[in-house]
Amino acid sequence: MPLDKSLIVDLPAFAGLSGEDADAVLAPARSSRFAKNTEVFSQDEEARQFFLLLSGYIRVVRTTPEGEQMIARYINEGELFGIAVAMGRTTYPASAIAAVDCVVLAWPNGAWQDLQSRVPGFGANAYQTIGERLQETQSRVMDMSTRQVEQRIAGAVLRLVQQSGRETEEGIEIDFPISRQDIAEMTGSTLHTVSRLMSAWEEEGIVRSGRQKVTVTDPHALMLVAENRKGK
Amino acid sequence: MPLDKSLIVDLPAFAGLSGEDADAVLAPARSSRFAKNTEVFSQDEEARQFFLLLSGYIRVVRTTPEGEQMIARYINEGELFGIAVAMGRTTYPASAIAAVDCVVLAWPNGAWQDLQSRVPGFGANAYQTIGERLQETQSRVMDMSTRQVEQRIAGAVLRLVQQSGRETEEGIEIDFPISRQDIAEMTGSTLHTVSRLMSAWEEEGIVRSGRQKVTVTDPHALMLVAENRKGK
DNA sequence: CGCTGTGTTGAATGCCGTCAACGTCGGTGG
DNA sequence: CCACCGACGTTGACGGCATTCAACACAGCG
């Protein structure tokens, strides 16, 4: 059974796509499921495909030769990822791991040209995505240069709830399981420091957190922490 | 007098460009000189042009709202910069400052499409450049997370001599004036720490340095420092 | 000849990583 | 159903690396 075009027509990357073109775009694509904690692709593996996340959350991880890891970003539903082809790369620069059970659409690299010509604004959207990730990564370098650990961690948690938050009665919760270690790997810190700070924030009523769960109950207060102006 | 096409035909970004196309490509371009320490464009300024560095070196600087600065990268001769248009941005994300007297070619953003269609591989080259900068920036985040200051500074100096080095009888010298403060802003450190480390390296005969000058006399030893295996 | 930008060096402080030990939750298998 | 085990989380104590603070030296320039 062919993939249904309703999967993609309302995504920003495919804006302005006509019905028959949508079918043609989906023809070379395959959809697959990835169970939680399985790899969609692996760092340094030859890049043969690019991907669109239909449902779930993907963690993008870079590993040093010495085996230390860093979480480059999380991918949300509807986002492109693994687009090495758009950067003229032959290998993936990082691994992509399902943070929860995921459904993914995969195209062979050869379809890139066709998508660009068939979908108005597809190329521009993809390159804008890369540009945004470059900006974001540079901001992260600045953060690591100029801000202390507490401000960085507060900023990272804020970004997570903004990009991947889900409203609950207690506040905004990060919509996928995330450990202290994960937050440490996003901020260049350690799970110990993250744990200490989150405990302190819980004392102050800014967050509520538990096993692989983080809920921000007072985003404004957390912003003040991120800016190092915490009412002191 | 029109610009001479010999300026660009041998650059990788313009590979495969025929003679008459080269003239057409250069028609909308303007060349200008920028004296040392003057700004080519300014962070958050509306991006109306993109640039090619014909001669000199450009420092790309990001500034936080609090006024702290970071050097994102140095641009070498023949490189594109200020290509906000390729990332769908309307403002420049950083400032570009001439590190020495520079000559720059500037196109209005409207010429981007024409260059892409007229020059085979121009778009691919530009997007590859952006991809490389994204990789490089992510590597920098990893470095700041996992390596200590001494290793980061050694790595930064090595990159500078590799990308912008000039052979001298004493060793390889960084081809533009660079202060301790500049190196600190590239590595998320302070001029004090940089000064101490460079003094120590000078003791060990790894570098020779002076006012705004850095010469690496023993690149291999510096690599060992960068990898934290300095013969200990 | 003073002034500004750059570089050097010493001393002290403190952030946060490291080491260590323990507590807790959830899944799994008998 | 319960016991076990591994993954995750918490907390205290300690210490080191790098920043911060301070003072001085030196070069280039008007």
Distance CA B47, CA B106 (A): 12
Q: Please state, rounded to an integer, the average pLDDT across all residues of chain A.
A: 94
Q: What is the mean predicted confidence (pLDDT) over A197-212? A: 95
Of A145, A160, A154, the C-alpha closest to A225 is: A154
Angle at B44 between CA B38 and CA B48, to 5 degrees: 80
Helix, strand or coil, per DSSP, at residue A56: coil
Give the residue carrying structure tokens 């070379």: A28
Of the two residues A71 and A8, the one the predictor is more confident about is A71
Range 151-210, chain A: CB under 7 Å to any strand D atom:
179-181, 191-192, 195-196, 198-199, 202, 209
Q: Which CATH number is B147-226's, of 3.40.350.10, 1.10.10.10, 3.40.50.720, 1.10.3720.10? A: 1.10.10.10
- Which positions 14-43 of A are in contact with B (Cβ < 8 Å)? none
**What pLDDT digit, counting tens, does each position of B198-230 carry?**
999 999 999 999 899 999 999 999 999 999 876
State the pLDDT at residue B15: 85
Check CB contact under 8 Å for A130 and B127: yes
What is the least distance, in Å, from the CA of A146 to any CA of chain B?
7
Pairs of residues, one from chain A and one from chain B, whose beta carbons lie less than 8 Å apart: 102
Distance CA B61, CA A136 (A): 15
- Count the Cβ atoms, other than its own, within 10 Å of residue A164: 19
Question: Residues in chain A, how many?
Answer: 232
- How many Cα atoms sit within 13 Å of B195 on the Cβ side? 8
State the pLDDT at residue B136: 96
**What pLDDT digit, counting tens, does each position of B121-137 carry?**
899 999 999 999 999 99
Of A79-88, B21-30, B53-62, B150-159, the range with the lowest mean pLDDT is B21-30
Distance CA A148, CA B105 (A): 40
Of A200, A3, A31, the C-alpha closest to A104 is: A31
State the pLDDT at residue B55: 95
State the pLDDT at residue A1: 60
What is the least distance, in Å, from the CA of A142 to any CA of chain B?
7
Helix, strand or coil, per DSSP, at residue A67: coil
Q: Outline where DSSP puts E strands in B142-220.
A: 165-167, 172-174, 207-210, 213-216
State the pLDDT at residue B231: 52
Q: What is the mean predicted confidence (pLDDT) over A131-160? A: 97
> What confidence tier does B232 reach under pLDDT thresholds 50, 70, 90?
very low
Using the CB atoms, write b or e for B186-200: b if 16+ within 10 Å: bbbbeeebbbebbee
Percent of chain A with pLDDT over 70: 98
What's the 3-state SS for A83-143?
CHHHHCCCECCCEEEECCCEEEEEEECCHHHHHHHHCCCHHHHHHHHHHHHHHHHHHHHHH
Q: Answer whether A93's CB lies under 8 Å from A43's CB.
A: yes
Distance CA A164, CA A57 (A): 9
Distance CA B132, CA B152 (A): 19
Q: What is the mean predicted confidence (pLDDT) over A116-121? A: 89
> What confidence tier does A4 reach under pLDDT thresholds 50, 70, 90?
confident
Helix, strand or coil, per DSSP, at residue B31: strand
Angle at A11 between CA A182 and CA A3, to 5 degrees: 100
State the pLDDT at residue B3: 76
What are the structure tokens assigned to A129, written together?
A: 């995505």
pTM: 0.94
What residues contact A162, with CB distance under 8 A and at least 6 apart? none
State the pLDDT at residue B122: 93
Q: What is the mean predicted confidence (pLDDT) over B172-181? A: 97
Class of domain A5-143: mainly beta
Q: Is B103 exposed, middle or buried (0-12, 13-18, 19+ CB in 10 A)?
A: middle
Q: Does pLDDT of A225 surpass 80?
A: yes
Distance CA A39, CA A46 (A): 14
Chain A positions in Cβ-Cβ contact with residue B134 (cut-off 8 Å): 87, 130, 133-134, 137
Check CB contact under 8 Å for B140 and A141: yes
Q: Does pLDDT of B4 surpass 90?
A: no
Distance CA A69, CA A47 (A): 21
State the pLDDT at residue A94: 97
Distances (CA, A) of A70 to A62, A65, A95, A193: 5, 12, 10, 16
To probe the interface with A, which of B44, B92, B141, B144 has the most A CB atoms within 10 Å? Answer: B141
State the pLDDT at residue A231: 52
User: Do the first three CATH levels of B5-143 and B147-226 match, i.e. the same topology?
Assistant: no
Check CB contact under 8 Å for B134 and A132: no
Percent of chain A with pLDDT over 90: 84
Of A106-120, A133-147, B7-21, B152-166, the range with the lowest mean pLDDT is B7-21
> What confidence tier does A120 reach under pLDDT thresholds 50, 70, 90?
confident
Q: Domain segments of chain A: what residues?
A: 5-143, 147-226
- Which positions 133-152 of A are in contact with B (Cβ < 8 Å)? 133-135, 137-138, 140-142, 144-146
Q: What is the mean predicted confidence (pLDDT) over B181-191? A: 97
- B88 inside 8 A of chain A by CB: yes
Q: What is the mean predicted confidence (pLDDT) over A83-95? A: 97
